Amino acid sequence: MDLTSLNQLFTFKSIFESLEDAVICHDIDFKITDINPAAARLFGFTGEQVGKTVSGIMEKTVFEEYERLVDTVRSGAKVQGFRTVCRSITGKDLHVSITISPITDAEQKLIGISQMIRDISDEYTAEEQQATLAAIIEGSEDAIVSKTLDGFITSWNKGAQGVFGYAAPEVIGKHITILIPPDRIHEEDYIINKVRAGQKIEHYKTVRLAKDGTEIPISLTVSPIRNKQGRIIGVSKIARNITAQKLADEKQAALAAIVESSDDAIVSKTLAGIITTWNKGAENIFGYSENEAVGRHISLLIPPDRLDEEERIIGSIKRGVKIDHFQTIRISKENKEIQVSLTVSPIKNSDGIIIGASKVARDITAQREAENALKSNSQKLMILNSIGKSISEQLDVNVILQKVTDATTELTGAAFGAFFYNKTNEEGESYMLYTLSGAPREAFEKFGMPRNTAVFHTTFSGEGVVRVDDIRKDERYGKMAPHFGMPDGHLPVVSYLAVPVISSTGRVIGGLFFGHPEPGIFLQDHEDLVVGVASQAAIALDNSKLFEEVKTLSLKKDEFIALASHELKTPLTSMSGFLQVLQKTASDGMNKVFLDKAIKQVDKLNILINDLFDISKVQAGKLQFNFERLDLGALIGDICETFEQTVPGHNYIYVREGDLVLQGDKMRMEQVITNLIGNAVKYAPHSRDINITAVNHNHEIIISVIDYGAGIPAAEQAHIFSQFYRVREKDRNISGLGLGLYITKEIIERHGGRIWVESEPGKGAAFKFAVPVCNTHINI
């Protein structure tokens, strides 16, 4: 070996021993030939390992990997910077980089292997951290952006793209101000200045612009970026999109505001019933403040007799069932009962477990009152309706006024009510009390009738309704001597209501007056009701007055007819008397014939006058009857005889059968039979035979009077028993007032019987009536 080679060898030796990297050399049989101090340092190898095989110092799996690497080198390839993990002497896994080189002799024959192992743990950790950070940055939903101190964007993560809409290539190199709304540009100076000063900005809430121009609420965290020397070289910026959070915050704030501003009581409680929240509405409704209520048991609000309701409510809530619009009663702090409608819902935690109940209580006292008011209004309407009906059916003034006074007193809630007629006494002072309700008549009599004072005048002059909350404070009150107000002992009137009752002609009939000892009792509603009733009453009173007038007129008419009948009969009586006297003495001949005719006409005249008089009695219900045992059969026989004598020219064929005795008025029955036979004679002058039959059939006596004249058309038959009715075709030639059958019908009916006609036009007519034998049906 020459000197140069020897020097070279020492040089290599020195390098080998001073290398930072561990070097292990072995021959082709893996027998270790050399180990440098670094190897000893890293792996704890000593000289003792020299001469042993590499497999002795490596774990089996590592050695197998190493054998494959050596095979690669043997095949002539190089292994450089192969990264793997080795265990150090301290037992620590070291990240290493291995370079394996062949050792050849002068003939280039492989005689061994050198492996150089470099500890790259530090380097590896840095890389790993950077990769992790990169992954985090890329995976973050927050926008993570870095920029230079001048504000130019240097990095832009996926999150930034998500938040602002720009892709990294679009913004890198651009100035950060593209994200800042013009009115917030100043923020950038502030941020940069802080960062330059080495300070960090955390959770700075601001607004930035997205690519599409929308403003995005963000929370910014800005940090300085320093180089290894600690010099600040840039800025990292994390922007979190807080739109959702902002919305949630706003929503929560809105909910809170709603809860707080709700008129309903909104309360939450635990399943054990302990109140946990209490809003303003609850405070207003129940009177307890939040401080007073929270922490107390809900039974605070529940009336003792309704405590079981809470168990049922909680039972339902525990099953997750909501309670809707449960109407009940709760108690306020002032111990006042409150009508509430409850809606109770379960409160669940984030795991879905029911932990309490929220309770919305609506105060429905007012609603209930409104319902009650409605109910009472409909009752009032019913009263009004019934008053209207009952007074319109009434014609008796006393009854009408009493009903009206009673009903209006009830409707207005007055302590007492009265109707006064608009009539003053001779001195023109007092009004006439007519009806009273709610107070005895003596209450007025003690001090006489109300006087023509300013208070009353308004009503009786028809000026309108007077409704005063406190009459004592009214300017019209107390102006009149001697009392100057209510006399002592007067009904205690404070609330006062007076409504004039005005007839359709505008005349003030009177006034309805109401009083109550407390002020402010009468409301517009009451006034309206009374005005309504008063107008109905006025109509009823008008009707009553008309009825009275008609009644009076009718009475006058009856009186007149009675008088007229009397006055007509007086000359008729003397005339008839003188004629009969003459008749008795006259010799046969012309004189006697004329006298007979004159007497017959006088009789006719008498019948007409009697009919007129009877009809007025029938209408007045004053037709009197004298019932006695009456042999109707014999009566008819007598009448037939009379007709044979007085109206000759007809065959009056009378057939009777059975017992014909009944209870009857002889004179009236005579009138009936005479009328029927007379009609037959009158309306069938050419009918020779007139058949009269009387039979007792089934406890009724049935009388028929049959003629063979023109008969009566079917259409006329229904009318012939009406007043003043006459079968038209014949009217012109036949005298009579058309009253006979009407009176006949009345007489028969008053005997409990019935009358009818059977007729076939052209063949004649049969008038028949039936009257019961026994008198139980008689209408006296």
Partner 1 sequence: MSKKLVYVLEDDADISEVVSYILSEEGYEVNGCPTVAAFNHMISQRLPDIAILDIMLPDGNGLDICRQLRMDERTSVINIIMMSANTTKNEIMGSGCGAEFIAKPFNIDHFVARVNQYA
Interface positions with partner 1 (CB under 8 A): 562, 565-566, 569-578, 580-581, 584, 602, 606, 613, 624-626, 665, 667
How near is the Cβ of 575 to partner 1 at its closest, in Å? 8
Distance in Å, CB of 674 to partner 1, minimum: 14
Helix (H, G, I), strand (E, B) or coil at 60: helix
How many Cα neighbours within 13 Å face the side chain of 724? 1
Minimum Å distance from CB 554 to partner 1?
Answer: 18
Considering beta carbons, is residue 363 or 665 the nearer one to partner 1? 665
Least Cβ distance, residue 703 to partner 1 (angstroms):
22
Return the closest-CA partner of residue 210 out of 143, 137, 139.
143
- Helix/strand/coil (H, E, C) string of 531-594? HHHHHHHHHHHHHHHHHHHHHHHHHHHHHHHHHHHHHHHHHHHHHHHHHHHHHHHCCCCHHHHH
Smallest distance from the beta carbon of 699 to partner 1, in angstroms?
26
CB of 562 to partner 1, least distance (A): 6
- Supply 483's token pair: 């009392």
Least distance CB 603 / partner 1 (angstroms) = 8
Q: What does the buried/exposed string (b/e) look like for 165-181 if buried means 16 or more CB atoms within 10 Å of the residue's CB?
A: ebeeeebbeeebeebbe
Closer residue to partner 1 (CB): 556 or 688? 556
User: What number of other Cβ atoms are within 10 A of residue 510's Cβ?
Assistant: 28
Q: Tell the smallest beta-carbon distance from residue 604 to partner 1 (Å).
A: 12
Q: CA end-to-end span of the chain, whole Å?
A: 181
- Name the residue nearer to partner 1 (CB basis): 8 or 580: 580
Do the beta carbons of residue 669 and residue 747 sit within 8 Å?
yes
Output the smallest distance, CB 460 to partner 1, in A: 45
Nearer to partner 1, 438 or 752 (CB): 752
Which 3 state secondary structure label does DSSP give 368?
helix
C-beta closer to partner 1: residue 41 or 569: 569
- State the nearest-atom distance from the C-beta of 571 to partner 1, in Å: 7
Given the complex with partner 1, which of 487 and 577 has the nearer CB atom?
A: 577
- Exposure on the CB side of residue 441, measured as CA atoms within 13 A: 6
Listing from the earlier edge strand, what are the strands of the sheet with 508-516? 431-437, 416-424, 508-516, 495-502, 466-468
Closer by beta carbon to partner 1, 60 or else 584:
584
With tokens 């012939």, the residue in question is 720
Residues 6+ apart with CB under 8 A from 595: 579, 582, 583, 586
Nearer to partner 1 by Cβ, of 484 and 560: the residue is 560
Nearest CB to partner 1, comparing residues 204 and 625: 625
Centroid of chain to Cα 188: 61
Query: Which residue, 176 or 743, is less far from partner 1 as judged by CB?
Result: 743
Neighbouring C-beta atoms of residue 541, cutoff 10 Å: 21
Burial class (CB in 10 A: 0-12, 13-18, 19+), 131: exposed
* Strands 201-209 vs 143-148: parallel, antiparallel or unpaired: unpaired
Q: Which is nearer to partner 1, 274 or 586 (CB)?
A: 586
Residue 581 Cβ vs partner 1, minimum distance, rounded to whole Å: 6
**Cα 174 from Cα 154, distance rounded (Å):** 8
- Tell the smallest beta-carbon distance from residue 583 to partner 1 (Å): 9
Torsion of CA 456, 461, 467, 471, to 10 degrees: -20
Look up residue 313 and give its two tokens: 């409510």
Shortest distance in whole angstroms from residue 628 CB to partner 1: 9
Question: In the bound complex, what is the minimum distance in angstroms from residue 739's beta carbon to partner 1?
Answer: 17
d(CA 210, CA 277): 41
Least distance in angstroms from the C-beta of 536 to partner 1: 43
Q: Which is nearer to partner 1, 506 or 571 (CB)?
A: 571
**Could you give the CA distance from residue 655 to residue 674 in angstroms, rounded to a whole number?**
16
Q: Which residues contact 379 (CB under 8 A, 6 or more apart)?
A: none
Q: Which is nearer to partner 1, 4 or 645 (CB)?
A: 645
| Closer residue to partner 1 in complex, CB, 454/581 | 581
Q: Are strands 275-278 and 201-209 parallel, antiparallel or unpaired?
A: unpaired
| Alpha-carbon gap, residue 336 to 286, rounded angstroms | 9
Provide the β-strand partners of residue 275: 269
Task: For the CB of residue 771, give the shortest distance to partner 1 in the complex, in Å.
Answer: 18
Q: Rounded CA gap, 26 and 52, in Å?
A: 9
Beta carbon nearer to partner 1, 119 or 611 = 611
- Find the largest Cα–Cα distance for the chain: 223
| DSSP letter string, 587-639 | PTTHHHHHHHHHHHHHHHHHHHHHHHHHHHHHHHT------EEEEHHHHHHHH
- Pair 253, 234: CB distance under 8 Å: no
Q: Smallest distance, Å, CB 597 to partner 1?
A: 16
Three-class SS of residue 119? strand
d(C-alpha 554, C-alpha 383), whole Å: 35
Backbone Cα Rg of the chain? 65
Q: Tell the smallest beta-carbon distance from residue 664 to partner 1 (Å).
A: 12
Q: Which is nearer to partner 1, 726 or 750 (CB)?
A: 750
What are the angstrom distances between the C-alpha of 660 and each of 425, 453, 703?
A: 66, 75, 10
Closer by beta carbon to partner 1, 434 or else 627 = 627
In terms of CB distance, is 17 or 559 closer to partner 1? Answer: 559
